[in-house]
Structure 1
Amino acid sequence: MWRSLTSIIRPCVESSAAPEQQRDILKSVSKTFYIETFGCQMNAHDSEKVIGTLEHEGYLRVEDEAEAGLILYNTCSIRDKAEQKVFHRLNEYKRMQGEGKKFAVIGCVAQQEGTRIFDKAPYVSLVSGSASYRNLPQMLARLEAGENRITGLDDRQTDETFETEFVARTNPHRGYITIIEGCDKFCAYCVVPYTRGKERSRAANSVIDEAIRIADQGFTEIQLLGQNVNSYNDPSAKMTFAELLAAVGSVPGIKRVRFTTSHPRDFTKDIVDAIDAVPTLCDHVHLPVQSGSTAVLKAMNREYTRDWYLERISWIKAAKRDISMTSDIIVGFPGETEQDLEDTATLLEEVGYDQVFAFKYSPRPNTPAVTLADSIPDEVKVARLQVILERQRAIQKASYQRHLGEVMEVMVEGHNHQRGQVTGRSSQNKTVNFTVTDPILPATGSYRTVKITQTFPNSLVGEAVRVN
């Protein structure tokens, strides 16, 4: 747990310390920080890099922005009205401006909006995109010297972003490794190529070395990250993505390896073969389809058809292991018809996803689709989204029921004391809530064998069983 700054400094300041010592203690208060993170796992891992760097530079992380000398806002630009939400949040921080606090906006919205952030929120002192985090020590030194309007926005093509010397792994049970940054796909609706830059991959030996370090730190689960993780192209030309998966899965001490997010255009059969062959690779694939209509897919510039996508699904279904499948869906893309929506709904049924993340289309800055006439009213988008969610809920209810009576290994992620349950996750990435008979609850990151006794559309319920 983070420590309260007040609890740290008050005993010192109220003691008989000399006045000059008290001044030194109070001066150190400015080297405290609070970070708020929004977005995907890559943003969460970016924050781990930022936290590690700040702590190495002598900063103390606090759990309350009121106690922080530096407030950082790690932003995401994917969702609807991301910029407005950022500036709304910054406006909430504005009330602290008179307290001598410094403010930093980092991440995708920072890269997207650039120096316009200073114009809209002049009390912000630092704006940095994710590729510039390795330069944080220099930017912090400038900030401490009293400089304002500090930027780190021009490094989207660098591959040096992978070699981050200091990482504070804040997830107690999973270690993240970014293996590829950026995107070359330029889907019509997506802002990622403009905020993260072009695709550049990390050398396989560097990935494996970090996996070994993570295992040595006691982690048993690793998640490989990338905007298009399976577009990985080893610059040393030694390993395919599937081979890298197998290599990370073979690191001693690692029990589970996950990866996200895959792009259908780069999803190859050898990935499925690797999952079949290497038990530590989790039996779960997240393969965003976005639409079940070939016409809409073409308008989105996804560069595959419905049938092409379904061929990849057939590889997964033919695997020896029962591989869970999840996806992303966008409804209401400009030009989408009722038949297009029905094509998406029937795709859900044909695939039988275990979970779908569905969203209304919203125009994103700088993307090709922003020039299209968004002719579908918001109320229609809302209704269409509800159609997809209701269809998927029925599919999930039937899908999860297949686990009734099954015995599975579950990694402990937390405890629900109110319900008297332990919360965990299966290899298929499904939430499992279960009870134990032991008086001492199992530790976070440990594993338990659980028999499933009840199923719901979004979770499983069970009881821990002993394995002889």
Structure 2
Amino acid sequence: MSKTFYIETFGCQMNAHDSEKVVGTLEQQGYAQVQDEAEAGLILYNTCSIRDKAEQKVFHRLNEYKKMQGEGKRFAVIGCVAQQEGEKIFDRAPYVSIVAGSASYRNLPGMLERLERGDQRITGLDDKKTTETFETPFVARTNQHRGYITIIEGCDKFCAYCVVPYTRGNERSRSAASVMEEARRMADSGYTEIQLLGQNVNSYRDPSGAKSFAELLHAVGTIPGIRRVRFTTSHPRDFTRDIVEVIDATPTLCDHVHLPVQSGSTRILAAMAREYTREWYLERIAWMKAAKRDISMTSDIIVGFPGETDEDLEDTATLLDAVGYDAIFAFKYSPRPNTPSVSMADSLSDEVKAARLQILLDRQREIQRINYQRHIGQVVEVMVEGHNRQRNQVVGRTSQNKTLNFTTAQPIMPALGSYQMVRITQAFPNSLLGEAQAAL
């Protein structure tokens, strides 16, 4: 097996950051990353099990490439599907050599040594309680200006539909001191934006008791060189008023909060075991609407949960109106292995779920069309993320996490990672258009 590797990542930002850890470790062990699986000696799939048929998609992808086994290639399935399916992966895909969950990536060097010796079935599983997963000595960050820091792993909420507690384990928080140390290293290396990550990032509990989540946000935001701090994903049950207060008080904290509601129906929220009501959620929204800063709000929604009626759907639709989200990520319900909802009667057809999903998406698109119009005429700061040379535009992102494409009168496009002041001239449901004012 040649010491080259190809990695494909599915799922959330935490998976993306996990892949950065895996890539860094592989490179430290002398492996070289390639961009084509045909050139790789080791092919890794970093998997996600949140959505419907995730494991089938993984096996389908593996089946596509099993012919490469004869070329001396080796395969690894890592991440949430690996933790969920375990050694059954070896039975269904005997050409796979490594099955490893996210908490075992620190053991990758030993797994790679075994792989190079010719071992066929190498596992890294059932290690979901360790806090050593936070130690990331080798991280190959893919973006040189924005970087991720995982501050909490796992979940204790056990929502009826969610597989995360079974694949990522219970909540384990990293010490505030180690978070600050990594954030300072990143700032010293030229990073200007940091995103704090966790399945429930605001459920963070400093093991030393030194800092609350809000205090940690403020501390990271005051590190010299850091211009933006984001955090995702928050859980409503642990969303406290001091989070809003610290956003108001700390200019470097981005004015955007992603607060998944999942349903606007109190009855369905109870069935989901979310342990809050519609009114309780809307109280948190009211805190943000009363803030001094204009805080952009986004959310996740599940459509077609077992027992959902037309009235429950309407409750969700009216919640969209009441909140006025700037974006939602909405999905059809699908049963996941080991979760309580697996035993619930799922009486809605896929066609009904799809129709209900479209109702919400149409409603939300109109809300976004109106929301984005309010930005016309504003001058905002954007971080440059790319260049669209065909349109002669610069691609940027605002503090509110909105895409803002803009033109510039300068002969040279602004550098990636730089910051520009842009006047917004047009608005669309999912993006903004503007003209550069002056470089910062």
Q: Whole-Å Cα distance in 1 between the matches of residues 303 and 225 of structure 2?
A: 42
Which digits, 9 at most, give the CA deviation of each residue in 1:399-423, with x for residues without a partner?
0000001000000111111111111
SS state of the match for residue 319, structure 1?
coil
TM-score (normalised: structure 2)? 0.99
Q: Whole-Å Cα distance in 1 between the matches of residues 390 and 59 of structure 2?
A: 37
Q: Whole-Å Cα distance in 2 between the matches of residues 162 and 175 of structure 1?
A: 15
Which digits, 9 at most, give the CA deviation of each residue in 1:419-439, with x for residues without a partner?
111111000000001111112
Q: Whole-Å Cα distance in 1 between the matches of residues 415 and 52 of structure 2?
A: 38
Which digits, 9 at most, give the CA deviation of each residue in 1:345-394, with x for residues without a partner?
00000000000000000000010001111101110000000000000000
Q: Tell me which of 404, 408, 425 is aligned to 1:432.
A: 404
Identity of aligned pairs, percent?
79
Aligned to 1:446: 418
Please say if 1:48 is aligned against 2:23: no
Please say if 1:365 is aligned against 2:337: yes
Unaligned stretches of 5+ residues in structure 2:
none
Please say if 1:127 is aligned against 2:99: yes
Aligned to 1:350: 322
- What displacement does 1:154 show? 1.8
Please say if 1:295 is aligned against 2:267: yes
Q: Whole-Å Cα distance in 2 between the matches of residues 178 and 329 of structure 1?
A: 24
SS state of the match for residue 325, structure 1?
strand
Aligned to 1:317: 289
Aligned to 2:79: 107
Whichever residue aligns with residue 314 of structure 1, its letter is A
Q: Whole-Å Cα distance in 2 between the matches of residues 383 and 420 of structure 1?
A: 39
- 8 Å contact kept, 1:326–1:355: yes
Q: Whole-Å Cα distance in 2 between the matches of residues 330 and 315 of structure 1?
A: 24
Which digits, 9 at most, give the CA deviation of each residue in 1:248-307, with x for residues without a partner?
001110000000000000000000000000000000000000000000000000000000
- 8 Å contact kept, 2:48–2:54: yes
Q: Whole-Å Cα distance in 1 between the matches of residues 333 and 411 of structure 2?
A: 49
Aligned to 2:429: 457
SS state of the match for residue 74, structure 1?
strand
Aligned to 2:153: 181
SS state of the match for residue 394, structure 2?
strand
Please say if 1:213 is aligned against 2:185: yes
Q: Whole-Å Cα distance in 2 between the matches of residues 296 and 269 of structure 1?
A: 25
- 8 Å contact kept, 2:44–2:77: yes
Q: Whole-Å Cα distance in 2 between the matches of residues 418 and 332 of structure 1?
A: 41
- What displacement does 1:173 show? 2.5
- 8 Å contact kept, 1:80–1:364: yes
- What displacement does 1:444 show? 1.1
- 8 Å contact kept, 2:419–2:439: no
Q: Whole-Å Cα distance in 1 between the matches of residues 197 and 379 of structure 2?
A: 29
Superposition pairs of residues 60-209 of structure 1, within 5 angstroms: 60-209=32-181
- What displacement does 1:467 show? 6.3
Please say if 1:223 is aligned against 2:198: no
- 8 Å contact kept, 1:173–1:413: no
Superposition pairs of residues 3-42 of structure 1, within 5 angstroms: 30-42=2-14
SS state of the match for residue 179, structure 1?
strand
SS state of the match for residue 438, structure 2?
coil
Aligned to 2:280: 308
Q: Whole-Å Cα distance in 1 between the matches of residues 359 and 39 of structure 2?
A: 46
- Deviating more after overlay: 414-423 vs 322-331: 414-423
Which digits, 9 at most, give the CA deviation of each residue in 1:198-256, with x for residues without a partner?
00000000000000011111110000000000000000001000000000001110000
SS state of the match for residue 73, structure 1?
strand
- What displacement does 1:51 show? 0.4
Whichever residue aligns with residue 194 of structure 2, its letter is I
Aligned to 2:361: 389
SS state of the match for residue 219, structure 1?
coil
Please say if 1:275 is aligned against 2:247: yes
Whichever residue aligns with residue 31 of structure 2, its letter is Y
- 8 Å contact kept, 1:172–1:444: no
Which digits, 9 at most, give the CA deviation of each residue in 1:301-323, with x for residues without a partner?
00000000000000000000000
Query: What is the number of equivalent residue pairs in this alignment?
Result: 440
- 8 Å contact kept, 2:395–2:404: yes
Which digits, 9 at most, give the CA deviation of each residue in 1:174-198, with x for residues without a partner?
1100000000000000000000000
Aligned to 1:15: none
Runs of 4+ residues deviating >4 angstroms: none
Q: Whole-Å Cα distance in 2 between the matches of residues 39 and 140 of structure 1?
A: 24
Whichever residue aligns with residue 167 of structure 2, its letter is T
Q: Tell me which of 367, 370, 388 is aligned to 1:416.
A: 388
Q: Whole-Å Cα distance in 1 between the matches of residues 307 and 126 of structure 2?
A: 36
Aligned to 1:258: 230
Q: Whole-Å Cα distance in 2 between the matches of residues 152 and 78 of structure 1?
A: 20
Whichever residue aligns with residue 247 of structure 1, its letter is A
Superposition pairs of residues 324-343 of structure 1, within 5 angstroms: 324-343=296-315
